Structure 1
Amino acid sequence: MFPELGMPTAEQPRHYTVRAHTYPWMDTFDGGLVPCIAAHGSWLYNAGFKPGARVTVQAVEGRLIFDLVDPPKEPRNRKCNAFEKYIADRYAPRPGEVTYYEHPGLLVREHILGPMGASTLDFAHAIGVSQDLAECFLAGDHDVDMDLAERLAPFASTSQWFWWELQQKHLSR
């Protein structure tokens, strides 16, 4: 391990749990030091690794190779909250109609922040992002990525997949 950086190497690999953040790696290839190569959690998700899965990382010729160590634990069954029910009812498929999904940021502004009387700054502090990012998201200019979905989930008492899927439905129109 490079002690000054605290990053894993081939001699001291690290096991990770798939989440929405970046996995750094430092090592030597062909006699030189590669400053940092990394993979983001959403890349792992797109490659078929489920969130919560334990993976190990190996570096081979300048590439990171992730291998499954343990599959993710089964999520506990949870009941839908009022916001999830509202979204399910609002976007329930109706025969002969095309369903257009609004941007998740607009839904948050209208149905969560509006009734609470919360400001954009309050929202930004609550989910731990900059006010600029919060404003862009609430205006519909910033899409939900895995990191934002993970931040929105506890704020709205939903799962991160609820937000991820809502964004994907919005993009598919």
Structure 2
Amino acid sequence: IKIGPCLPEFDKKDLLHAIGVTFGGVIRSKIIGEFCRLRIKLNVQKPLRRGIFISTGNGNKCWIPFKYEKLPTFCFGCGRVGHGLHECTELTPAEKNKIREDPPFSLALKAELNLVGRESLKLNALSKKLQTQCSYAGNINENRETHLYCEKRSDTM
């Protein structure tokens, strides 16, 4: 899993160990700036975890999101690996219909893989040229709306 960004006040080695233990064990860990990578033993019988709250030194809690690398098919309803929402036996048809509107799990749990090779880089440059660019500009207000500013990229290759 990819973890972060982590606040600089955290001892990342201790943080990685603590997170790994909650999953069932650490196989390998790596720290890259404010982000961390952790290879863990994952129990596929349990739902995927979206992140963890960590207490800071001043008593506040900080949310640290998880992104799973090489994540296979998983259910947007129950969060378990190995099946999709249509095949889920944990949920009733009524629950599945409700979840389709607002799923508790999403593709946001998947980590983006780095593209490698000249052709992949060309394809990536083309897709970036055609994408709408959005940037987050503040916290959620009292109406629970986020502020995103989007614009179509017009740069040329």
| Bin for the TM-score computed over the shorter chain | under 0.3
TM-score if structure 1 supplies the norm length? Answer: 0.22
| Greater Rg by CA | 1
The answer to which structure has the higher helix fraction is: 1
